Amino acid sequence: MTAPDTAPCSAAELEATLRKTLAPTWLEVLDESAAHAGHAGANGLGHGTHFRVRIGGPAFNGLSRVTQHRLVYDALQKFIAAGLHALAIEIRA
């Protein structure tokens, strides 16, 4: 499986989108792509395909874990459609 022929996304782009969409009070976006070099979905550049999102805020309060994760996936859908391959999500409600 090869990654789509698109420009890789950046942690800063994901962070800006999450801040605008979910208004978190706590947010950290880490690009872990280099650790996945040679794995499925890696683009050979060492960045832009595998991310970890640590997020928290009022938008997640009272929601099930599945619904919390869905909020993050929905917010980042344009990046997933453009080739974001892996997303690890850690939520602090």
> Could you tell me the CATH number of the domain that includes residue 51?
3.30.300.90
Q: Is residue 28 over pLDDT 70?
A: yes
Within a domain: residue 5? no
What is the DSSP secondary-structure string of 67-91?
HHHHHHHHHTHHHHHTT--EEEEEE
Where in the sequence is the domain holding 53, given as residue range(s)?
Answer: 11-92
Report the domain count for the chain: 1
Q: What are phi and psi of 86, to 5 degrees?
A: -140, 140
Residue 3 lies in a domain: no
Task: Tell me how far apart the alpha carbons of residues 93 and 79 are, in angstroms, rounded to a whole number.
Answer: 24
Task: Specify if 24 maps to a domain.
Answer: yes
In this structure, is residue 16 part of a structural domain?
yes
Residue 81 lies in a domain: yes
Inside any domain, residue 32: yes
pLDDT tens-digit map of 34-86: 654 545 544 444 446 789 999 999 999 999 999 999 999 999 999 998 878 88
